[in-house]
Structure 1
């Protein structure tokens, strides 16, 4: 079966899907508006199903013997009180390793993000991926249900949980005290946010994430690597102000735009995945972490 790509969908359908994913459109609104672009006997519901994630083929299997993985809880006094996430590390590491906080999209800790954590562990890092939905019962195993839960979070407490997670990674017995963060979409915004909150953060990588307010950029001390999609008008609209603030505050940053890619291009579970852009962005990400954090 041929894998669908973003080229198989009308650009307007992709815009509608982006609105649905990010809560600007309800499911009913998406189905109503997308129906006019359905062709060849397909329906709007078919389009939605085709664009939605499929977790059937992870890059790194959960049972990979090269890794040690587990779910672990940590205290978060300023957040919801307790956070839970997926911890992955090399099974036969020699010496202590740098740790990377992995921040999911606006769906919670789904199988794709767990796969991202395992990929980082294979590259020689400790990776911890918290589930922001844990206070509401955790990722429900269904993307639509996760979408409905996410707006119910108290974002002040959720952000405090991510701050706590980054700080706790410095204290893991297997860690060397150096911590980085990588985030995607919502998580990219959190990666940007954490860079403004943690003076000792070792490195931050944001994939198509919302930018912090210009006034907050003065608090960034970590080197940044930022990945954006050329066809992501919503995120790119905030770039000029962010870039100006980064330059004004002499922040060490790299910014890459993948010209033909869509928002979400690194997520290989959906048709918006762009293999070439994702491969290049990921190689840059791993090299950046190894340079800034060691391995």
Structure 2
């Protein structure tokens, strides 16, 4: 079966899907609106199914002999009290490891984000991917249910949990004391936030994430590697102001826009995935972390 890509969908359908994913459109409204663009027997329901993640294929299996990991819990006194996530590292590391905090999209710790953490472990990092939904029972195994849960979080507590996660990695006995953060969509926004909130953060890599307020940018000490999709009007609208603030504050940053791509282009479980752009962005990310976290 040929894998669907973003080019197989009307651009208006992709815009509607982005609104649905980010809570600006209900499931019912997406289905009724998308139906106007359906062709060849498709329906709004089938379009939603086609665009939704399929987690069958993973780049690094949980049982891969190159890595070791599992679920762990830590205290988070300023957040929700207890932090749970997926911690994974190379199986045979002899030296202290650079550490990377992995921040998921607005669905919690799903199989794709766990796979991202394992990829980092294969590349020689200690990776920790917390589940922001843990206080509400954890990732429910269903993307729609996860999106419904997400607005119920107290974001001030959730952000405190991610700050705690960074501190956990910084002092982890397997780590070298240097921590970077990579985040996707919602997680990209968290990566930007952590750069303003954690003075000793060593590196931040937001993938198509919302930008922090310009007034907070001067607090950023970490170098940034920022990835955006060309066809992501919602996120890119905030870039000019962010760039101006970064320049004014003298923050070290690299900014890449990937031609022809959609929001979520790095996520290989959906048709919005762009293989060439994702591989390039990921190689840049790994190289950046290896340089900044050494």
Instruction: Settle same-fold status: TM greater than 0.5.
Output: yes
Q: How many residue pairs are counted as aligned between the two chains?
A: 294
How far the C-alpha of 1:51 sits from its partner, in A, is 0.1
Q: 1:277 matched to which residue of 2?
A: 277
Partner SS state of residue 242, structure 2? helix
Match of 2:180 in 1: 180
Structure 1 residue 93 corresponds to structure 2 residue 89 = no
Runs of 4 or more consecutive aligned structure 1 residues displaced over 4 Å after TM superposition: none
Give secondary structure in 2 for the equivalent of 1:170. Answer: helix
1:131 aligns with 2:115: no
1:39 CA displacement:
1.0
Deviation at 1:75, TM superposition (A): 0.4
Give me the TM-score of the superposition, normalised by structure 2.
1.00
Distance 2:272 2:293 in 1: 30
State the match for 2:76 in structure 1: 76
Question: What's the secondary structure of 2:82's corresponding residue?
Answer: strand
Matched, 1:116 2:104: no
Q: Distance in 2 between matches of 1:289 and 1:115?
A: 18
Provide structure 2 residue ranges, at least 5 long, that are not aligned to the other structure: none
Give the Cα separation in 2 of the matches to 1:123 and 1:172. 18
In the aligned structure 2, how far is the partner of 1:225 from the partner of 1:205?
A: 5
Match of 1:22 in 2: 22
What residue is the counterpart of 1:52 in the other structure? Answer: 52
Shift of 1:43: 1.0
Partner of residue 264, structure 1: 264
Gaps of 5+ in 1: none
Matches within 5 A, 1:1-295: 1-294=1-294
TM-score, normalization: structure 1? 0.99
- For residues 34 and 49 of structure 1, the distance between their equivalents in structure 2, rounded to whole angstroms, comes to 12
Q: d(CA) in 2 for partners of 1:279 and 1:178?
A: 25
Q: Secondary structure of the residue that 2:171 maps to in structure 1?
A: coil
1:82-129 alpha-carbon deviations (Å, 9 max, x no partner): 010000100000111011000000000000000000000000000000
**In 2: Cα distance, 1:237 partner to 1:36 partner:** 27
- Alpha-carbon offset, residue 259 of structure 1: 1.5
